[in-house]
Structure 1
């Protein structure tokens, strides 16, 4: 069989296009060759449904050739696909556009995407391989194929990873295999793929702990979901209604679905120029993390990241226990630099360290929920927090009682040459602390700070270069209680404006 399907794309076109084709008899492999005009990458993604209506493939038209396939095995199925039988009947192919990219790239122009649908043997751009996560014919992660309890490393320690990454499934430029090589070079232990409105259905062989994720992407903001077990129910509606008033409804429903199913919701780069978060009515109870450092090599990142840290402080001042995470948001090849950047954008910069008693997907999720995390650049921070001899981790509630709780905060800061500036931030107030040099490249601090569990108290650690650039953030410990005044993000924005 061979059929050509054309999609006409413009600013005036619908966000989601649909065409049908017929498979006359059972096939071993179905191939899609999508010819994207030069200079028009990343304008949208393709979705393929089989004769039952089940989604069998989803892929952003991004970097490199777009020669895709779905087959009976992972070796004959492109990333983002679901292996299984290719049965006769009416199949459907959808093309969903990213409205913000279309506006940026096309302007008032119109283009045609030609898609050749065939069973003629052809090259596959990037097959999944043998490690398939999903059940046959569906976008549900199979507990038989993906083991949430698998122990990748048995030690009790701080594990390094990245909670915001991209590969060629969406708009990243690296293959999955190259991404794993770079992750090992960056001494990472875990990796969370978060593609734009797309879900990985498998992975390459690796000894890293891979936690399934997704980045829900709209014109008015992005958020990550960690530990997903299936494709979010309203994903196609999010594509179809992007840029319309209905969009906010589907965003809210997706966040509610995530919380119901036990996925972690993380607010991405909330102040980053055109990608800032604009859904002011978002309930603060609905997300567990805020991305406080996003791709620090990007032009507008330093100031927007500092705003995100201030935003999280305002949340804590209002009594909300929400945790800071980092994300490289890396899209580029290793030799590429953003304009004006001295360093490449690479997964693991920043790194987020999570304290786990053995590294498994389940343990990783549990510790993120508890806030047992540090976010760093160019260094590793090992905090040691004690009260009356009892040790606490970042994110913990201090259980000692009294109006004069003495907290001893020690921390090692390893791997930097220049003596850093270090602050303990208590209830939003920055308190500079003395920094001692332990050995060349290793520094430490030790401070006592008083807390009072009769009121709401919290303390976190922040590390910066002498010139002020970000080096590290350690999530707060806290005691006492507070009835929050603010319930939505826009109310926190107002508080930030007042301050």
Structure 2
């Protein structure tokens, strides 16, 4: 038997096991669910038999207005061990796709869809399953069950947009890049014949793998088209988490939104989006995390709209600041100060705002090697490798930034005070005289200088001139006031690592 036929028969056996009982689907062949909405909104059941052999069975259902995504899982019994039912979809006006029997889980929304299906309008339509009975024996009756979930605006994934399961289990510091561009906006790379062309998205994912990243957010300018490719690529790249992102590119500044595929209007001044405040609110209502990009960049002919000149109050509305990207790092390589955006962020912290500092390469060229994707790397302590866990951890401030992008550097901070344990990003309520015990372990930084900064200023008491292997203990006594403590690792005077703060008396 030819090898290709053996593989095809094996695949068919996996997706349609020979049992009269309901199928148990593998994790990859299930639909991602919305947080708090595990039960399906609709369950369709029925039977087919030999009379339906090589025929199509229509199973109509209504999708209410306001629904922005549908997710369908189809299972069926195989009393003869041979029954095969394909899943097709019509939306009442047009054909929306066909499974080819290699998948049981299908997701469609207005911007993306499972491969072999097409994105487009969802709610307010009379849909129909198109069950193609490819084979069923004489005398056999198969029972099918279609579970259908309706997503509405503001729903967020319980796990990830493009994966029903975490890619890795367990709490860890996960490495990623939160600002990347592809050929779906202004990313370029060389074609096979050496021509500069808009770069396909898989090249960015390959570059992330080469940089040994755990997660990436693809943030093409004002676009939603890249989500379709991300939905296709995630099952194959099951070692790199793909987070949906978008760079909202306006004349008042650029902001990344993470964790939604919903369209949010970027056209400030339009009736639908009158100002930046409305845009940030709309992004949050869509379930997104919002980060200001390169806030200190110029906003003139050198980089139109790049610097943040929106009303000052909008800085306090966002979840994160991109304080370090490749542009800042290139300044440092040239001997200049890369900390301009850090200073803008710290000015907000000084006002009592707990806003997370993140990094992003802002890469437009996957061929830059180590100075491309992952330069810098944002490192996040999350409960597992999933979109929900990564974004929740960023919101909580459990983040440090590796400014080298080199794999092998690590940093961990354990903090304890008045019976509470925490880490980077956590807040401690301390009265005067109470002590915060901080234990730091910095791997790959032996001999480097650890600089502790209290309220943005270097503190000799929190500084170690030459890091050694193992743990370093740094106690700090509170005066009862509001403070923040963050750390930098410096080698030869250059910063190679910066952390978010441990907060004292900031409250919520």
Class of the TM-score when normalised by the shorter of the 2 chains: 0.5 to 0.7
1:206 partnered with 2:237: yes
Whether the 8 Å CA contact 1:314–1:428 is kept in 2: the answer is: no
Could you say which residue in structure 2 is the equivalent of 1:290? 321
Could you say which residue in structure 1 is the equivalent of 2:452? 424
Whether the 8 Å CA contact 2:159–2:386 is kept in 1: the answer is: no
Taking structure 1 as reference, are residues 320 and 386 closer, same or farther at Cα in structure 2, changes over 3 Å only?
same
Equivalent residue runs for 1:269-348 within 5 Å = 269-273=294-298, 274=303, 275-296=306-327, 299-300=330-331, 305-334=338-367, 336=368, 345-348=371-374
State the SS of the aligned residue for 1:160. strand
TM-score, normalised with respect to structure 1: 0.61
Mapped partners of 2:289, 2:120: distance in 1? 34
Whether the 8 Å CA contact 1:135–1:141 is kept in 2: the answer is: no
Which is further off, 301-310 or 142-151? 142-151
Mapped partners of 1:330, 1:74: distance in 2? 35
Could you say which residue in structure 2 is the equivalent of 1:164? 179
Gaps of 5+ in 2: 1-67, 69-94, 101-110, 122-148, 189-198
How far 1:284 sits from its partner (Å)?
3.4
Taking structure 1 as reference, are residues 84 and 182 closer, same or farther at Cα in structure 2, changes over 3 Å only?
closer
Which is further off, 389-398 or 214-223? 389-398
Whether the 8 Å CA contact 1:455–1:482 is kept in 2: the answer is: no
Equivalent residue runs for 1:140-289 within 5 Å = 146=161, 150-173=165-188, 174-199=199-224, 200-201=227-228, 202-204=231-233, 205-207=236-238, 208-232=240-264, 234-235=265-266, 237-238=267-268, 249-273=274-298, 274=303, 275-289=306-320
Q: Larger Cα Rg: Structure 1 or Structure 2?
A: 2
1:359 partnered with 2:390: no
Mapped partners of 2:287, 2:180: distance in 1? 21
Question: Pairwise CA RMSD of aligned residues?
Answer: 4.0
Which stretches of structure 1, 4 residues or longer, exceed 6 Å deviation after superposition? 140-145
Whether the 8 Å CA contact 1:149–1:360 is kept in 2: the answer is: no
Mapped partners of 2:213, 2:453: distance in 1? 28
Taking structure 1 as reference, are residues 420 and 223 closer, same or farther at Cα in structure 2, changes over 3 Å only?
same
State the SS of the aligned residue for 1:254. helix
Taking structure 1 as reference, are residues 247 and 349 closer, same or farther at Cα in structure 2, changes over 3 Å only?
farther
Mapped partners of 2:401, 2:159: distance in 1? 33
Mapped partners of 2:185, 2:119: distance in 1? 25
How far 1:321 sits from its partner (Å)?
0.8
Mapped partners of 2:474, 2:329: distance in 1? 34
How far 1:474 sits from its partner (Å)?
1.2
State the SS of the aligned residue for 1:358. coil
Question: 402, 405, 417: which one pairs with 2:434?
Answer: 405
Whether the 8 Å CA contact 2:175–2:213 is kept in 1: the answer is: yes
Gaps of 5+ in 1: 1-54, 56-69, 88-133, 337-342, 484-499
